[in-house]
Amino acid sequence: MKLKPQGDAAAVLVFAVLLLAAGVFVLTGIAQLAATQALIGQSEWQALDRRIRLENSRAMARQFMLARMFNGVVAAPITFVDTSLGGFSLSPISSTNTGGDYWTTLSTTNTNVNLKINPFTLMERGGFYRVVVPGKLYSDPTATNNGVDWNFQVRTRSPITAGYPVVQQLPASNNVALLVGAVPHIDMTKNEQFIGFHDMARMRVSSVTNTAVDATGYEGFLDVPIGVAAAGLFTNVVFRPANAQVTEMQAFIDLSTSDPQDLNQVLRYELVADTADFATNGTNYAGVPVTSLLVRGTEIFDLKPLQVVIPKERTNLQTIFLEGRNPLVTGRPVYINYQRSAGGGATLSMVATNATGRWRLGLSASHSDVFCATTGIDIVGGIRTDGTISGNPSLEQERDPGGLDYIADRMMWLEDYKTP
C-alpha cells in the first residue's frame, strides 16, 4: 500500500486545529466563570450596602413614628439627607393627617385598606391603625426604579381582642415598658411610659366642652369638673382625670362636694383615694342608688368606653362590683386596669350583684390574683392577669368589631410594609 504522507500531515494539522479550538472554547468558558465569580463578589457588597441603607431608612422611620405619633402633633414634613450613610437620603416624610382625628378604627370593612396583606384574622380586627409615613423614605440612586416608597403604620390590639378571654402573662420586667412588634404587654408599674393611653382615648371624645379648669389649656379630653350623678354618696373618694399623670394637671375633684356633672365626656378615671370597693354600674337607667363606689353609665348609647385606672397605691381596693347589665356594644364597655405593688399577692374579687346577662368588660390585673364571683353573668371581653384566676367566671369572646375596638389595648405596635 502506498503511503500518502501529505494526507497524514493534513490530518494531523486538522486535528491540532480542532484541539486548539476546543481548548480555546473551554478556556473561554472558564474565563467567563471567573468573571462571573468576580461579579458575584462585587454584587454581594452592593446588595449588602443597599440592604443596610434600606434598614437604616426603616430604623429612622420607626424612630420618627415613636417620637412623633403619640404627642398629638401633626408631623411636619422633613427632609433629611446624609451622604455619609452611603448616599442614603430621606426625602420628605409627610403625614396623611387631614384633621384632628388621627386614628382610624379598624373595622371589618377597612382592614384591608392600605394593606397589601392582611395579618389580622376576623377576631383580631379590633384596634386602631394609622398610616403614618407614606412618603418616599429611601432613595437609592443605583436602583433602577430610583427610590422605594415605604409606608408605615402604627397599630394597636389586645390579646383580648385577639380572641383570648383569659390571658395570663409573666410579671412585667423593670426595663421594658414599650414593646414594639411584639405581643402587647401592659406594665402597670410604668405608667409614665405607658404611652398612647390618653392620646388614643382623646380621639374617642365626641366633643370637648368649653368649660376649662386647667389654666394651661391642655387640649386633652377632660378639662371640666367631673362628678357623678349623685354627689354625696361617697366619702373620701376623689377622682381625678387620668391624664393628670401625663400632663401634671392637678385637677382633683372631690366627689363628696362636687356638683353632679354629666359624665358624658369622662372617658377615663384614676382612682386616687383608698377605698375598699369599686362598683361600676352598667345599667342603661340612671338614678339607681348604690352603696358602694359607683361609676355610673347613664343613657350610655352614645357614650364611649370607660377606662378606669387603679394604680398600685390603691392597695385597699379588693372588690369590683358589677351591677346591672352592660350588654350593648353601643353602650359603655368598661376597661379596668388594676395593679398592686409587686409581690403583693393579694386577690382582687370581681363580684356580680344584681347583675344579669352579658357584661362587657376588660380587666387587666397586675401583681394580683383574680377571683370571680360572677355567677349569673357572662363577661364579654376578657380578664388579663399575671396572677391566677379562680372562681367560676363565664367568659365570652368579644366578637363584635365595635366592641373589640372599645377594649383594644393601648399599647401599640408598629408595622411597616413596602408599596409595590
Partner 1 sequence: MRARGYSLVEVVLAAAVVAIGLTAAAVLVGTLMQQQELNAASLRAANLQEQAVKLYRLDLSSSAIRGLLPEPCVASGAPPSGGYTLSFSVPSSTNLEIDGTTVDLDRTRLTLVYPNTVAAGNVTNRVDIVRPATRVRYAQ
How many residues make contact with partner 1 (CB under 8 A)?
A: 46
Nearer to partner 1 by Cβ, of 26 and 113: the residue is 26
Q: Per the structure block, which three cell numbers stand in for 259?
A: 356638683
Distance CA 139, CA 147 (A): 4
Contacts of 124 (CB under 8 A, 6+ apart): 157, 161, 162, 163
Distance of closest approach, residue 174 Cβ to partner 1, in angstroms: 10
Q: Which residues of 111-127 are buried (b: 16+ CB within 10 A; e: fewer)?
A: beebbeeeebeeebbbb
Cα–Cα distances in Å, from 277 out to 188, 288, 316, 319, 389?
20, 17, 8, 5, 19
Only one of the segments 81-89, 134-142, 332-340, 404-412 lies at the binding site for partner 1 (rule: CB under 8 A); that segment is 81-89
Cell numbers 368598661 correspond to 334
Q: By CB under 8 A, what part of segment 179-198 binds partner 1?
A: 179-180, 182
For residue 91, the minimal CB distance to partner 1 (Å) is: 13
Interaction with partner 1 in 84-103: which residues (CB under 8 A)?
84-86, 90
Nearest to 62 by CA among 197, 186, 175, 180: 180
Q: Are strands 377-385 and 166-168 parallel, antiparallel or unpaired?
A: parallel
Among 10, 11, 18, 52, binds partner 1 (CB under 8 A): 52
Whichever of 23 and 171 has its CB closer to partner 1, that residue is 23
Residue 17, CA distances (Å) to 9, 13, 29, 31, 289 in order: 12, 6, 18, 21, 111
Nearer to partner 1, 359 or 413 (CB): 413
Does residue number 38 form part of the binding site for partner 1 (CB under 8 A)? yes
Stretch that binds partner 1, among 71-79, 96-104, 240-248, 391-399 (CB under 8 A): 71-79
Smallest separation, CB 249 to partner 1 (Å)? 23
Among 80, 231, 246, 376, contact with partner 1 (rule: CB under 8 A): 80
Interface mask (CB under 8 A) for partner 1, residues 9-28, using x and -? -------x---x--x---x-
Residue 204 per-residue DSSP state: T
CA distance 359 to 318: 20
CB count in 10 Å sphere of residue 82: 12
* Residues in contact with partner 1 by the rule CB under 8 A: 2-3, 5, 16, 20, 23, 27, 30-31, 33-34, 37-38, 40-41, 44-45, 48-49, 51-52, 55-56, 59-60, 62-64, 66-68, 75-76, 78, 80, 82, 84-86, 90, 175-176, 178-180, 182
